[in-house]
């Protein structure tokens, strides 16, 4: 498998297969939303779009990064989300990096959204579909976020079939600027537990695929054939 690793500003073409990586915290949060029963996650273009969707669908659950805000039900924190029952709910998510990255590749044939909690499931799906060329979108810090790059490189190696020690990749992520900011509470809407939850390798056995449905970018769970739960 041929892999390239690009930041959002470096995306100049439409990839065939894209893996959008946001470890801290969008795609750790989305995975927890599915684990707590959410049916789908709508990736919103803007805060205004998220609020407009909520106005049209009052039962949908709105989630944003940063501090809590009127009209939004949840913040982008896995620690806060994991105690929330989302059975059958549609979640609308808007964050600074993760959701923007997925929308930037929405015309790709396959868009997977990933983090360490769904790393093996994501790699397994890429192996199963025999993807030859994969663009990893490193969403944080214009492509330089160490937690996203480490996770992307780990998934790429697993997708290529390598036996890989995850330890060094997780340590890079744990030493990243994002991890430091979350630990120190610099980022609003976070708890100190968020970092550990973002570094739980393969916490979930499903992958997450996004596609345009009725003009919305919708993220859903996908299982791959060799998944333990398939």
Ligand X SMILES: O=C(O)[C@H](CS(=O)(=O)O)OP(=O)(O)O
Q: Which of 22, 65, 120, 146: binder of Mg ion (CB under 5 A)? A: 22
Cα–Cα distance, 135 to 111 (Å, whole number):
10
Would you count residue 147 as binding ligand X (CB under 6 A)? Answer: no
Q: Which of 62, 90, 95, 176: binder of ligand X (CB under 6 A)? A: 95
- Residue 187 interaction partner, one of Mg ion, ligand X, none, beta carbon < 5-8 Å per kind: ligand X
Cα–Cα distance, 101 to 109 (Å, whole number):
15
Look at phi and psi of residue 71 and say left if phi exceeds 0, alpha if psi is from -120 to 50, else beta: left
Output 65 or 120, the one with its CB closest to Mg ion.
Answer: 65
Q: Which of 24, 42, 159, 182: binder of Mg ion (CB under 5 A)? A: 24
Q: Of 7-15, 18-26, 82-90, 111-119, which part binds ligand X (CB under 6 A)?
A: 18-26
Measured distance between the N- and C-terminal CA atoms of the chain, rounded to whole angstroms: 24
Q: Which of 52, 73, 96, 128: binder of ligand X (CB under 6 A)? A: 96
Q: Which of 7, 15, 78, 98: binder of ligand X (CB under 6 A)? A: 98
Q: How far is the CB of 56 from ligand X (least distance, A)?
A: 24
Cα–Cα distance, 170 to 196 (Å, whole number):
10
3-state secondary structure of 217: strand
Helix segments in the chain, DSSP class H: 26-35, 47-56, 78-81, 98-104, 119-128, 146-159, 167-174, 177-183, 193-198
Task: State the DSSP string of 33-56.
Answer: HHHTT-SEEEE-SSHHHHHHHHHH
Q: Of 23-31, 32-40, 149-157, 214-222, which part binds ligand X (CB under 6 A)?
A: 23-31
Output 139 or 221, the one with its CB closest to Mg ion.
Answer: 139
Question: Degrees (nearest 5) of the Cα angle 64, 190, 24?
Answer: 75
Residues of the shown chain interacting with ligand X in the complex, contacts defined by CB under 6 A: 22, 24-26, 65, 76, 95-98, 140, 187
Residues of the shown chain interacting with Mg ion in the complex, contacts defined by CB under 5 A: 22, 24, 97, 140
């Amino acid at each position: 498998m041929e892999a390239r690793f690009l930041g959002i500003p470096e995306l100049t073409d439409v990839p065939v297969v894209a893996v959008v990586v946001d470890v801290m915290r969008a795609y750790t949060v989305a995975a927890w939303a599915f684990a707590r029963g959410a049916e789908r996650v709508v990736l919103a273009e803007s805060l205004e779009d998220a609020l407009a969707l909520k106005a049209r669908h009052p039962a949908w659950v709105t989630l944003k990064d940063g501090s809590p805000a009127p009209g939004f039900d949840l913040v982008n924190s896995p620690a806060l989300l994991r105690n929330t029952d989302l059975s059958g709910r549609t979640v609308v998510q808007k964050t600074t990096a993760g959701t923007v990255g997925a929308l930037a590749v929405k015309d790709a044939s396959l868009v997977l959204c990933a983090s360490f909690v769904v790393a093996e499931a994501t790699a397994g799906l890429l192996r199963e579909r025999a993807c030859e060329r994969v663009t990893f979108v490193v969403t944080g810090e214009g492509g330089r976020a160490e937690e996203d790059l480490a996770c992307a490189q780990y998934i790429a190696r697993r997708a290529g079939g390598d036996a890989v020690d995850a330890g060094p990749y997780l340590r890079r992520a744990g030493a990243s600027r994002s991890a430091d900011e979350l630990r120190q509470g610099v980022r609003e809407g976070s708890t100190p537990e968020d970092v550990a939850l973002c570094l739980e390798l393969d916490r979930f056995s499903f992958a997450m695929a996004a596609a345009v449905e009725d003009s919305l970018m919708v993220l859903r769970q996908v299982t791959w054939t060799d998944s333990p739960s398939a």
